[in-house]
Amino acid sequence: MKKGLKQTKIIATLGPASDSPEVLKSMIDAGVDLIRINASHCPNAESIQTIINLVRAVSEEVEVPLGIFLDLQGPKVRVGTFADGAIKLEVGDTFRLSADKSTPGDQNVVSVSYPELISDLEVGHHLFIDDGNIRLEVTTKAPNEVVCNVIRGGKVSNNKGINLPMTKTSIPTLTEKDLRDLKVAVDNQLEYVAHSFVSTADDVKLLKKHIETMGGVDIGVIAKIERKAAVDNIISIIKNVDVVMVARGDLGVEIGIENVPEAQKLIISEASLLIKPVIVATQMLESMVEKKLATRAEVSDVANAIYDRCDAVMLSGETATGIDPANAVAMMRTICVATDQSLTARKKNKFSQVKRVFEEKTMATSFCKAADAIADENDADVILAFTSSGNTPLISSKLSPSIPIIAPTDSIHVLKKMQMYRGVIPIMMPQPFSEIKSWARMIDVAIRYAKMQGLMEVGDKVVITAGFPIGQPGGTNSIRMVIVS
């Protein structure tokens, strides 16, 4: 088995700097595993479709099965526009927010993107504008506007975002644009869809219901944790989603930037117990939007997310609008490989050996834990986890093995979904499971194919998990150990 392979997965956002075949190919060469399409910057369904077509065409050309997820815009609350484009607020100023969108903004008043917001606000509530740079407190409430006192001043320009950590809003979590964009994701059978501004598990359930109504099959839902309410309801949210994203931008405004590290560790820990992958996102290598080299603090930030056992790290502006998207991916890969190797060494030396207990106890979790122990005690080189659904490799991944997990499947959709799972190398079986009549034959086919791909070599010790009947999801019930000949 090759040594030094990257285990943590890298997600890159496509944008004006990277939405060409040449740049995308260079990003794939640099180590990207999944592509994020940010619907906030896609004005219509056609623009989303164009990016999907590009990713799939390049993915097929270079024979790398990239996963894709669409990040729905969600109901981001924003200020309206100003007659002069921007204003400057001073501490102690009085400033009004209006439900009347026809009102041109000035030094005294501006409209909001969702008029319903005015009725949701109460005296004493705090509002943050432009990622927390501006802070207001509601002092008076009227039917169509609220009067605020400026607590933290600064420049406010057109369409800046508003965060409402104290306010329970009546604004739907899925907008008409979100539903139009979601239809594109369903029609193209994307691997994942991300739900922005989740507050409760009901938000996630509603999105899943829409996916089902539209005819979507096996499309994973990613819950973006960027609201205080989501942190408060984190357990029920994790239980109802497929993947969790620590979206640290808006989350930092909502709960205070000093509280983000604690929330990040909590979310990763709880998701691991519930066997759900976790993405850590926002400002990971922010300086590389404009520079060729990351800062030491950014490198430490990425590494600490990996030490916390996240599954994937995400690049946003670094690859969407940065000066060198492929270089940003390469830097991220370098950090991932170094940290992954450190984790591997620590586990092998028993420095960080901790008994991990899943909240869910099933036959699959028991067999995966047994396979991990067998691999450790016998110095195995690789775990081979056959799967029809992706569940067995995901469980194995959450045990943080010190060796790679090769996951043969006969489903291209499952193959691409597994690109999200830490330490998992998905491979496509050269023939369907249904055509393979014995476990011995299945092992032989998979090992031969893995050797052809350079993923195994003669003499490797392989711990194998599979289920009988072959090809049926949820039936992991067998372990075998072989030496590659």
| Annotated catalytic residue within 9, 36, 135, 347 | 36
| Annotated catalytic residue within 78, 248, 333, 417 | 78
Would you say 197 and 226 are in contact if contact means Cβ atoms under 8 Å apart? yes
Beta strands 134-141; 126-129: pairing state: antiparallel
Radius of gyration in angstroms for the set of CA atoms belonging to the chain, rounded to a whole number: 24
Which of 266, 246, 239, 278 lies closest to 400, judged by CA? Answer: 278
Which of 283, 339, 334 lies closest to 310, judged by CA? Answer: 339
- The answer to whether residue 13 is catalytic is no
- The answer to whether residue 167 is catalytic is no
The angle formed by the CA atoms of residues 312, 356 and 421, to the nearest 5 degrees, is: 20
SS3 label, residue 416: helix
| Annotated catalytic residue within 282, 339, 392, 476 | 282
- The answer to whether residue 282 is catalytic is yes
Stated as kind and residue range, the H or E segment containing 280 is strand 278-281
Length of the chain: 485
Q: Phi and psi dihedrals of 136, rounded to 5?
A: -125, 155
* H-helix segments, 199-324: 201-213, 228-232, 234-240, 248-255, 260-273, 296-307, 317-320
Non-local (6+) Cβ contacts of 209 within 8 A are: none
Single-letter amino acid code for the residue at 157: S
DSSP state for residue 123 in the 8-state scheme: T
> Interhelix angle for 296-307 vs 325-348, to 10°?
50
* H-helix segments, 350-482: 363-377, 391-398, 412-417, 439-452
- The answer to whether residue 224 is catalytic is yes
| Annotated catalytic residue within 9, 208, 224, 347 | 224
SS3 label, residue 409: strand
Catalytic residue numbers, as ranges: 36, 78, 224, 282
